[in-house]
Chain A
């Protein structure tokens, strides 16, 4: 049962434009969400998070939006840079903090 879903396996965006990565979840018990960025042959790196008491969290070029009624969150990156090319995972902690991950979206920034 995939409780966190990323339906777009890949996304290509022109450098300087906005990248929007989407994530849907099914478990209404989730109250905190994280985005991780992963380069090949490396472990995931924490990027940004959001608590369910908020609908937006911003950190520099990265903003995460949460729509609880739709059980949907999105990560916006603007402006997109070549170094942003990576696989992005959304995740939610459940129970004793173990993370449930989506399947990832491979973002490619085109120079």
Chain B
């Protein structure tokens, strides 16, 4: 199964620690999106990346959050100095490219709990 892979599936951090979430897109997909789902809410767009480029980070909090999608390896969403409000499910999606009817395929998510 060459679906979108995310790890870890569950991550527990204490306030002030760093969280690193990884996403490997589907084979052949070069576009990666990160979304966050807070409890009882829908998914909210965070950032859109292509290989080595951030295309749109309009949904990212201005501080403590960063994302990358290097030429080799998975996409990483990094949250520095986590706070309780960062507790959420973080989903990664990938697509083959822009234009047309371009469905995004989602990974299983990483559930971050900040103690």
Q: What is A's interface to B at a CB cutoff of 8 Å?
A: 4, 6, 32, 34, 36, 41-46, 49, 51, 89, 91, 93, 95-104
Roughly how many angstroms separate A104 CA and B56 CA in the complex, as a whole number? Answer: 24
Find out whether the CB atom of B91 lies under 8 angstroms from the CB atom of A44. Answer: yes
Q: Which one, B40, B91, B98, B101, contacts A43 given CB within 8 A? A: B91
Chain B 55-94 residues near chain A, CB threshold 8 A: 55-56, 59, 91, 93
Which residues of chain A are near B44, meaning CB under 8 Å? 101
Which residues of chain A are near B45, meaning CB under 8 Å? 98-100
Main SS of chain A's interface residues? Answer: strand
Find out whether the CB atom of B103 lies under 8 angstroms from the CB atom of A89. Answer: no
Q: Which one, A6, A45, A95, contacts B56 given CB within 8 A? A: A95
Q: Which 10 A-B pairs have the closest CB atoms?
A: A43-B106, A101-B42, A103-B42, A98-B45, A101-B43, A46-B103, A44-B106, A43-B108, A43-B107, A43-B109
Which residues of chain A are near B105, meaning CB under 8 Å? 46
Which residues of chain B are near A102, meaning CB under 8 Å? 42
Find out whether the CB atom of B109 lies under 8 angstroms from the CB atom of A51. Answer: no
Task: Give the number of A-B contacts (CB < 8 Å).
Answer: 65
Find out whether the CB atom of B103 lies under 8 angstroms from the CB atom of A49. Answer: yes
Other contacts beyond A96-B55, A98-B33, A99-B45: 11, CB < 8 A: A32-B101, A34-B103, A41-B108, A41-B109, A43-B6, A98-B45, A98-B56, A98-B59, A99-B93, A100-B45, A103-B42
Number of interface residues of B (CB under 8 A): 29
Roughly how many angstroms separate A91 CA and B91 CA in the complex, as a whole number? Answer: 15
Roughly how many angstroms separate A32 CA and B45 CA in the complex, as a whole number? Answer: 17
Find out whether the CB atom of A42 lies under 8 angstroms from the CB atom of B43. Answer: no
Question: What 1/0 mask marks residues of chain B from 34 to 48 whose CB sits below 8 Å from any chain A CB?
Answer: 010000111111001
Find out whether the CB atom of B56 lies under 8 angstroms from the CB atom of A42. Answer: no
Closest A residue to B41 by beta carbon equals A103
Find out whether the CB atom of B107 lies under 8 angstroms from the CB atom of A96. Answer: no
Roughly how many angstroms separate A42 CA and B42 CA in the complex, as a whole number? Answer: 14
Closest B residue to A51 by beta carbon equals B101
Find out whether the CB atom of B56 lies under 8 angstroms from the CB atom of A99. Answer: no
